[in-house]
Amino acid sequence: MQFKDQIDFIRQHMKRNKLRVATTILAATMGCAFLIVLASIGFGLHQTITDDVLDNNMVTEIEIAGKSGGETEVAPADIPAADLQKIREMEHVVAVVERNQPEAEAQTVIGNRSAYSRIVLSSMEEEQKAGFALSEGKMPSKAEEIVVGYHMAKQLLTEAEMEKEANGEEVDGFAGSLIGQTIELQLTPFRDEGEEAKESSSWEFVVTGIAKEPAKDWMTDNSVYADSSWGAVFNEELDLQQGYKYILVYADELQNVGGITDTLKEDGYYVYSVTEELGSMNVFFTALKAGLIFVGTIAVLIASIGIFNTMTMAVTERTREIGVMKAVGAQPKLIRKLFLMESAAIGIIGTVLAVAISFAISLLSNWLIPMIVLNSLGEDRPADFTLVISTIPWQLVVIASAISIGVAMLSGWRPARKATQIDVIQALRQEM
């Protein structure tokens, strides 16, 4: 029998029992749609959280938190410069930044204004390669020159202004540009509780550039970026401990972060990157998705009972016709195929409808639920946070379709086999 005729044949049969076939398809549709929608929540949440992580991190940044050195562990500050140079020369690595923070409280002073600040000691050249950029001015060329954070000017307040701000009033801070201004940097060593206040020292710097605005509008940057050579100067003058050193490796593209991370790990470095964070999350979400698909499959299995019933009834009803077909010369293989195709057709139609319905439900819930949730949070809602409830990637469509159609064909298997086993003589004896 030609394939076209087979399709024709099962279409005719399905038409003859419209209501029964329709209700069976409905059940298959509901089962499959349940599976897709349920699993889509796992995919959606995964996406929300992945987006959030990628959004809030320098995604191409890999932090080196140390290195294993046989028995002992090597702290970032003790990793030899030659090793870091090797990393710098790795493929896809654009920069290796070594950032130091002195163990001291820092205050910037200009005239009668002052602000608490964070000191970042680093090679500005390397920082620039890593993506550090200015909103104004130029990069320092001498050791006495510095770059200050975007919000520095606004944070430099007089004492009167500080009081005002404490009372919740708006203050303007330093008016005009800080570029070219000389800033005094006052460092006071950290002290433990109960310890006496320690002597502070100050240095003067010329501001040559203002860093660009931070990516997130809730971040404030009032740092002082100075050359790393100052670390030794500060430590000596104030008798400070060697502070923690951040070693950050920058990849050219996100897709290369994983490779670099793996290589560094092989070389014994303790590393931390977005791919690491996402990696451990992926494990969790893969398990969650698998679990949801499993639960959804139960719905598909329940629907398959309907398909089994429908096909069994179809075979019983058509016993005489099957007998005639066989008498005329139809192969048992053909009979089986026709019935399997019919149950597959129910599965396929149900799946197609289910996919369409699932996309509609997914769209609707992505629009409705975040609206309700975010509104109920009122003012506290996190800024620019997008909540994705449900995502249907093509992989989910493929998995759900395979499960639904597979289960439909499996449930049609027994009835189809029963059809092939029908005895011609018995079948022909049946009344019309």
Q: Applying CB under 8 A, does 428 fall inside the site for other proteins? A: yes
Closest CA to 33 of 363, 394, 345, 358: 358
Stretch of 104-112, 136-144, 168-176, 322-330 contacting other proteins, by CB under 8 A: 322-330
Q: Applying CB under 8 A, does 324 fall inside the site for other proteins? A: yes
Q: Applying CB under 8 A, does 135 fall inside the site for other proteins? A: no
Read off the tokens for 65: 């938190």
Q: Applying CB under 8 A, does 321 fall inside the site for other proteins? A: yes
Pick the closer one to other proteins by CB: 148 or 325: 325
Q: Applying CB under 8 A, does 55 fall inside the site for other proteins? A: no
Stretch of 7-15, 87-95, 113-121, 212-220 contacting other proteins, by CB under 8 A: 7-15
Q: Applying CB under 8 A, does 370 fall inside the site for other proteins? A: no
| Residue from 240, 330, 352, 387 in contact with other proteins (CB under 8 A) | 330
Q: Applying CB under 8 A, does 369 fall inside the site for other proteins? A: no
| Residue from 113, 245, 326, 337 in contact with other proteins (CB under 8 A) | 326
Minimum gap (Å) between residue 340 Cβ and other proteins: 17
Pick the closer one to other proteins by CB: 67 or 336: 336
| Residue from 166, 197, 383, 432 in contact with other proteins (CB under 8 A) | 432
Judged by CB under 8 A, the number of residues near other proteins is: 27
Closest CA to 419 of 328, 301, 330, 303: 330
Q: Applying CB under 8 A, does 259 fall inside the site for other proteins? A: no
Pick the closer one to other proteins by CB: 320 or 418: 320
Minimum gap (Å) between residue 10 Cβ and other proteins: 12
Read off the tokens for 127: 């920082």
Contacts (CB under 8 A) with other proteins, residues 13-52: 13, 16
Pick the closer one to other proteins by CB: 166 or 432: 432
- Interface residues toward other proteins, by CB under 8 A: 1-2, 4-5, 9, 12-13, 16, 320-321, 323-334, 423-425, 428, 432
